[in-house]
Amino acid sequence: MKKWYQERYFSRRDWLLENMNRLEISPTQGLILLLIDYYQEGRQVVTMENLAMQCHLDLEEIDAAIDDLVKMDYLVISTKNRKVYFDISGVFEDRPKLEVSRDLFEVFEEEFGRPLSQKEMIAISQWQQSYDSKTIIKALREAVIQEKLSTSYIDRILENWSRNGKV
């Protein structure tokens, strides 16, 4: 059975362009995903050199962007019969709404100077549903400046910003 993003009537590239912000990917990462999809639709071979040439970037920059996409689970690279395959279906897969990137938890643990409690992890997960990661980290930095490292204080900061239209 085909998944929704594999249906013939669905434009994966349009969807990618419309959702780049939500996916929190850079323009370079977005272009790489678009090119991989384009090459695969035309049954062309995807190579690092082709991507570098089309993006007008050097191989190191392409490699770094691809590495980031793999870490975000948006891209899977595999080999079979001495051929390299790029799979971007991870971009389209539904993720649980409470899933938060490990990096956000790590930032909080680093600032708090200890592992997070389950209650704190739930609070961060809930913020992720309403605010982008940058806003949450900005609120964390504000709490650090005020020397009030608690999720309830950060929650009040976020609510205040939301009420005042700063988010």
Amino acid at 42: G
Structural domains of the chain sorted by starting position, each given as residue range(s) with its CATH number in brackets? 4-91 (1.10.10.10), 102-163 (1.10.10.630)
47-65 pLDDT, tens digit each? 889 899 899 999 899 889 9
Round the average pLDDT of the chain to a whole number and report it: 84
DSSP letter at 93 equals: S
Q: What is the pTM of this model?
A: 0.53
Give the residue-averaged pLDDT of 140-145: 87
1-34 pLDDT, tens digit each? 666 655 666 678 888 888 888 888 899 999 999 9
Which candidate, 60, 67, 56, 58, places its Cα nearest to that of 29? 67
102-121 pLDDT, tens digit each? 578 888 988 888 998 888 88
